[in-house]
Amino acid sequence: MPTNTTSFGHPAERDHPVQRDHPVELHAVSRRYGAGERAVTALDRVTLGFAEGTMTAVMGPSGSGKSTLLHCAAGLDRPTGGRVVIGGTPTGELDETALTLLRREKIGFVFQSLNLVSALTAEQNVALPLRLAGRRPDPAEVAAALAEVGLADRAGHRPDRLSGGQRQRVAIARALITRPAVLFADEPTGALDITTSRAVLGLLRGLVDRHRQTMVVVTHDPAVAAWADRVVFLADGRVADELTDRSGAEAIASRMSALEAAA
C-alpha cells in the first residue's frame, strides 16, 4: 500500500501531496498543446508521487490525460508547467541528452505495441537496452531476466516464433534488464486474451511484491486495475478520484462509470 504523504505547502499540491523519496514525483504538472483559442490542456496542475514497491493504475475516460501523464512522468514529454522529478533529479533542468540518459538509467517501458525487433532473438531483444547504453550485456544477466519471466527455454526464439503472451514477457524482461527505478506500462494486456492477460498481470504483480519494483500501469480495464495497490482516476486532465484499498474490479468499474457519466 502507498505510504503516508507529506504536503509541500502549495495549494495545488495539498490535495494530492507526494513524498520526496518517491522514485517519480509530479508537482503541479500541466501540459498544454497548441496556443490561443485552439490550446488544449491535457494535464491541469497534477501532483502525484509513486511510492517504491507499489503498483499504481491510472484510469479515466478517453481524453482524460492518461497517456500525457505517463509521457510526462516518464520523461518522454516535457510539461508546460510544474515539475517532474525522477530519482531525485528535476527533469526541467536537463537538456535532451541528459534526459535521455536519465530515462535509460531510471525508467523502463512496456507498451501494448511491444516494439520488439523482429530480426532479433528474445535474448538479443532483452540485451538491446544495454547495448544502446554502451554497455556489454552479461549473458548470465540476460538469461536471468528471461528466467524471471518464465522464458528461459525461449532465449533463441525470434518474436514470430513466440505467442502474444511470450512476446509481452520478452518486452517486460527487456524493460527490467536495466533495473529501472520505475516501470511504466501502457495497456500492457490490451492485445491479450483473458487467460494470458491474467498470467502477465500475475508476473507484474510478482515483480512488485518480490523485488519492490515500482510500477505505473495505464489501463482502461477495471480487471487490470484491480491488481494495483492504488488506482488514480483522471478526468479533464485532473486527479478526480483515488482508491487505495486494493478494490475489486466491480468497485473500480463503478467509479469509472460515475466519471464517464459526469464527463
Rg of the chain, C-alpha, whole Å = 18
Nearest Cα residue to 232 out of 21, 49, 77, 9: 49
The residues that bridge with 223 in the sheet, in sequence order, are none
SS3 242: strand
Nearest Cα residue to 240 out of 223, 224, 222, 261: 261
Q: Is the pLDDT assigned to residue 4 strictly greater than 70?
A: no
* Residues 131-153 pLDDT 10s: 988 889 999 999 999 999 999 99
* Residues 28-81 pLDDT 10s: 999 999 988 889 999 999 999 999 999 999 999 989 999 999 999 999 999 999
* Residues 67-115 pLDDT 10s: 999 999 999 999 999 999 999 999 999 999 999 999 998 999 998 777 8
Helices (H), 182-221: 194-211
* Residues 223-257 pLDDT 10s: 999 999 999 999 999 999 999 888 899 999 999 99
pLDDT at res. 41? 96
The sign of the torsion formed by the CA atoms of 129, 51, 85, 217 equals positive
* Residues 124-133 pLDDT 10s: 999 999 998 8
In the chain the beta strands, taken as DSSP E runs, fall at: 24-33, 40-50, 55-59, 81-86, 89-90, 107-111, 182-186, 214-218, 230-235, 238-243
pLDDT at res. 5? 34
* Residues 168-224 pLDDT 10s: 999 999 999 999 999 999 998 888 899 999 999 999 999 999 999 999 999 999 999
Amino acid symbol at 2? P
User: Under a CB-based contact definition with an 8 Å cutoff, are residues 209 and 228 in contact?
Assistant: no
Q: Is the pLDDT assigned to residue 8 strictly greater than 80?
A: no
Q: Which domains does the chain have, with CATH numbers?
A: 51-67+96-262 (3.40.50.300)
Binning pLDDT at 50, 70 and 90, where does residue 9 land? very low
Distance between alpha carbon 154 and the CA centroid of its chain, in Å? 26
Run of H or E residues at 130 = helix 122-132
pLDDT at res. 70? 95
SS3 166: helix
User: How many whole angstroms separate alpha carbon 70 and alpha carbon 42?
Assistant: 12
pLDDT at res. 52? 94
pLDDT at res. 260? 87
User: How many whole angstroms separate alpha carbon 5 and alpha carbon 104?
Assistant: 28
Phi, psi (rounded to 5 degrees) for 74: -90, 0
User: How many whole angstroms separate alpha carbon 108 and alpha carbon 112?
Assistant: 14
Q: Is the pLDDT assigned to residue 263 strictly greater than 80?
A: no
Q: Is the pLDDT assigned to residue 16 strictly greater than 80?
A: no
User: How many whole angstroms separate alpha carbon 184 and alpha carbon 84?
Assistant: 15
pLDDT at res. 20? 52
pLDDT at res. 76? 94
Distance between alpha carbon 107 and the CA centroid of its chain, in Å? 9
Instruction: Output the CA angle 203-112-171, nearest 5 degrees.
Output: 50
